Amino acid sequence: MLEIAQIRENKEAIIERLKVRNMDAKAQLNRIYDLDAKWRNEKQALEAVLAEQNKVSKSIGQLFKEGKQEEAQAAKARGSELKEKEKSIVDGVNQLADEIQQLLYEIPNVPHPSVPAGNSDEDNEVIAQSGEIPTVGDTWKPHWDLAKEFDLIDFELGVKVTGAGFPFYKGKGARLQRALINFFLDEARDAGYKEIIPPFVVNEASGYGTGQLPDKEGQMYHVTAEDLYLIPTAEVPLTNIFRDEMLKEEQLPVCLTGYTPCFRREAGSYGKDVRGLNRLHQFDKVEIVRVEHPNQSYAVLDQMVAYVQGLLTKLGLPFRILRLCGGDLGFTAALTFDLEVYSAAQDKWLEVSSISNFETYQANRLKLRFKDDDKKKQLAHTLNGSALALPRILAALLENNQDENGIKIPAVLVPYTGFDRID
RNA sequence: GGAGAGUUGGCAGAGUGGUCGAAUGCGGUAGUCUUGAAAACUAUUGUACCGUAAGGUACCGGGGGUUCGAAUCCCUCACUCUCCGCCA
Q: DSSP 3-state assignment of A186?
A: helix
In order, the DSSP letters of A202-226 are: EEHHHHHHHT-TTTTGGGS-EETTT
Give the residue from A217, A244, A241, A242 showing the smallest Cα distance to A229: A217
Predicted pLDDT at A273? 67
Question: Above 70 in pLDDT, residue A76?
Answer: yes
Span A408-422, average pLDDT: 96
Q: For the domain A121-422, what is the CATH superfamily, name and number? A: Bira Bifunctional Protein; Domain 2 (3.30.930.10)
Span A277-293, average pLDDT: 94
Give the containing element (helix H, strand E) for A76.
helix A69-105
Query: Model confidence over A100-109: pLDDT tens digits?
Result: 988 998 899 9
As a rounded value in angstroms, the CA-to-C1' distance for A116 and B3 is 63
Give the rounded percent of residues in chain A with a pLDDT score beyond 90: 66
The reply to whether domains A4-105 and A121-422 share a CATH topology is no
| pLDDT, averaged across chain A | 91
As a rounded value in angstroms, the CA-to-C1' distance for A87 and B65 is 14
- Give the nucleotide at minimum CA-to-C1' distance from A78: B68
Q: DSSP 3-state assignment of A233?
A: coil
As a rounded value in angstroms, the CA-to-C1' distance for A58 and B15 is 20
* φ, ψ for residue A94, nearest 5 deg: -65, -40
Residue A53 to residue A87: CA distance in whole angstroms: 12
Residue A280 to residue A263: CA distance in whole angstroms: 8
Angle at alpha carbon of residue A208, lines to A202 and A210, rounded to 5°: 85
Predicted pLDDT at A228? 86
Angle between helical axes of A390-400 and A172-190 (0-180°, round to 10)? 120
Predicted pLDDT at A214? 75
Predicted pLDDT at A137? 82
Give the residue whose CA sits closest to B69 at C1': A57
Q: Helix H segments across A211-353?
A: 235-240, 297-315
Give the residue from A155, A416, A104 showing the smallest Cα distance to A276: A155
Span A269-284, average pLDDT: 82
Residue A326 to residue A82: CA distance in whole angstroms: 51
Q: Name the more confident of A212 and A28.
A: A28
Q: DSSP 3-state assignment of A335?
A: strand
CATH architecture of A4-105: Orthogonal Bundle (1.10)
Q: Name the more confident of A175 and A91.
A: A175
Place A247 in a pLDDT band, splitting at 50, 70 and 90.
confident
Residues A323/A339, Cβ–Cβ less than 8 Å: no
- Give the nucleotide at minimum CA-to-C1' distance from A3: B49
Widest pairwise Cα distance in chain A: 104
Residue A359 to residue A292: CA distance in whole angstroms: 9
- Say how far residue A43 (Cα) sits from the centre of its chain: 34
Query: Model confidence over A342-367: pLDDT tens digits?
Result: 998 889 999 999 999 999 999 998 88
Amino acid of residue A109? N
As a rounded value in angstroms, the CA-to-C1' distance for A386 and B59 is 39
Span A284-301, average pLDDT: 95
Using a 7 A cutoff on CB, list residues near strand B: A 4-5, 40, 43-44, 47-48, 50-51, 53-58, 60-61, 64, 75-76, 79-80, 82-83, 226, 369, 377
Predicted pLDDT at A266? 81
Per DSSP, what are the bridge partners of residue A291?
A254, A382
Span A58-83, average pLDDT: 86
Span A232-244, average pLDDT: 91
* φ, ψ for residue A38, nearest 5 deg: -65, -45
Q: Domain locations in chain A?
A: 4-105, 121-422
Residues A21/A329, Cβ–Cβ less than 8 Å: yes
Residue A173 to residue A393: CA distance in whole angstroms: 13
Residues A161/A423, Cβ–Cβ less than 8 Å: no
Amino acid of residue A245? E
Query: Model confidence over A307-339: pLDDT tens digits?
Result: 999 999 999 999 999 999 999 999 999 999 999
As a rounded value in angstroms, the CA-to-C1' distance for A245 and B26 is 22
The interface predicted TM-score of the complex, written ipTM, equals 0.85
Query: Model confidence over A174-198: pLDDT tens digits?
Result: 999 999 999 999 999 999 999 999 9
Predicted pLDDT at A404? 87
Protein-contacted positions of strand B (CB under 7 Å): 18-19, 47-51, 56-58, 68-69, 79
Predicted pLDDT at A182? 97
Sign of the alpha-carbon torsion through A21, A203, A220, A259: positive
- Give the nucleotide at minimum CA-to-C1' distance from A5: B49
Predicted pLDDT at A1? 87
Q: Name the more confident of A64 and A170.
A: A170
- Give the nucleotide at minimum CA-to-C1' distance from A79: B68
